[in-house]
Amino acid sequence: MDLPSVGNPGAGGGIREGFSPRQVSSVSMVTIPRAPVLYNHPEEPSTMPRKPLIAANWKMYKTPAQAQEFFKSFLPLVANHERDEIVVCPSFTSISVVVAAATGSGVAVGAQNMHFADEGAYTGEISPLMLKAIGPTHVILGHSERRQYFAETDELINKKLKAALSHQLIPIVCVGEVLAEREAGKTNEVLVRQTRGVLAGITAAEAVPIIIAYEPVWAIGTGKTATSQIAAEAHAVIRGEVAKVLGQPTADAVRILYGGSVKPDNAASLMAEEEIDGALVGGASLDPQSFAKIVNY
């Protein structure tokens, strides 16, 4: 598959082979080596670690002028940042100005949603072709707000995921349980069902660029963050299911981000977990200083 170079997970800067990019143990704060994680194509396993990725989901905030203002303040704060990939996902109406503002900076741009069809009588929708024409490299799919307010199902998200892959858009596909499901002890069941549902019919080779975001719905925009341990356990369940569906090498390569009230003061402890490969940040990504602090955790 011919993927855009932005977001190429193999392009990690300065990471020593055989060591994690995040070597600080959350318990002892002692630097420890850990086993290499397979990264690249499943048929050509390599010892490249998964490069962390921090993504901003601006939801329905910011006009194009406000998006431009954000970039004026934000880019100097993350200049030459190589440890993590950075992706900013504005509203559709700001994608073009953000693509222009981010050009040459190493910050990638994503959309927050798209239709699965190339074109058609779908009033109000945006197609992958239309996105490709204006330059984003990533697309968030199946965000819980899409599931909750726009009735998106795993089946629909699966169609969008396939469309994104066939158009070389890097999907950030969201899964996560609601509070009632967690309280009923159904978290793992929900994560398994959603992971299987969104990946249905996708081959291991096709799945290589997929990024999964674990977003417990009870933690989104509520100020409640899953503890690092809760998040890491959920990530392990998701990765385990990816392994069952697509094989261990693919599961080892797929990056799983945590999302849900990530803030400057909790980013480091979340990112210290081996299972957490990055963050999808909503509210705290709207302010350039706050998002830069998260990126520089």
Nearer to ligand PEP, 93 or 148 (CB): 148
Residue 292 in contact with ligand PEP, rule: CB under 6 A = no
Which residue is nearest to ligand PEP, using beta carbons? 282
> From CA 108, how far away is CA 284, in angstroms rounded?
18
Listed ranges 158-166, 199-207, 240-248, 275-283: which one lies at the site for ligand PEP (CB under 6 A): 275-283
Nearer to ligand PEP, 237 or 280 (CB): 280
Query: Which of 221, 229, 244, 265 forms a contact with ligand PEP (CB under 6 A)?
Result: 221
Q: Is 274 marked active-site?
A: no
Look at residue 283 and give its three-state secondary structure: helix
Judge contact between 183 and 150, C-beta under 8 A: no
Listed ranges 69-77, 121-129, 130-138, 277-285: which one lies at the site for ligand PEP (CB under 6 A): 277-285
Judge contact between 168 and 126, C-beta under 8 A: no
Judge contact between 210 and 254, C-beta under 8 A: yes
Judge contact between 202 and 173, C-beta under 8 A: no
Look at residue 86 and give its three-state secondary structure: strand
Residue 176 in contact with ligand PEP, rule: CB under 6 A = no
Helix H segments across 114-186? 128-134, 144-149, 154-166, 179-183
Interface with ligand PEP in residues 189-218 (CB under 6 A): 215
Q: Is 215 marked active-site?
A: yes
Cβ within 8 Å of residue 66, ≥6 positions away: 94
> From CA 256, how far away is CA 274, in angstroms rounded?
11
Q: How far is the CB of 82 from ligand PEP (least distance, A)?
A: 24
**Binding string to ligand PEP for residues 48 to 77, with x set by CB under 6 A, is what?**
---------x-x------------------
Interface with ligand PEP in residues 80-139 (CB under 6 A): none
Burial of 22 (0-12, 13-18, 19+ CB in 10 A): buried
Nearer to ligand PEP, 76 or 221 (CB): 221
* Residues annotated catalytic, as ranges: 143, 215
Contact footprint for ligand PEP (CB under 6 A): 57, 59, 215, 220-221, 259-262, 280-284
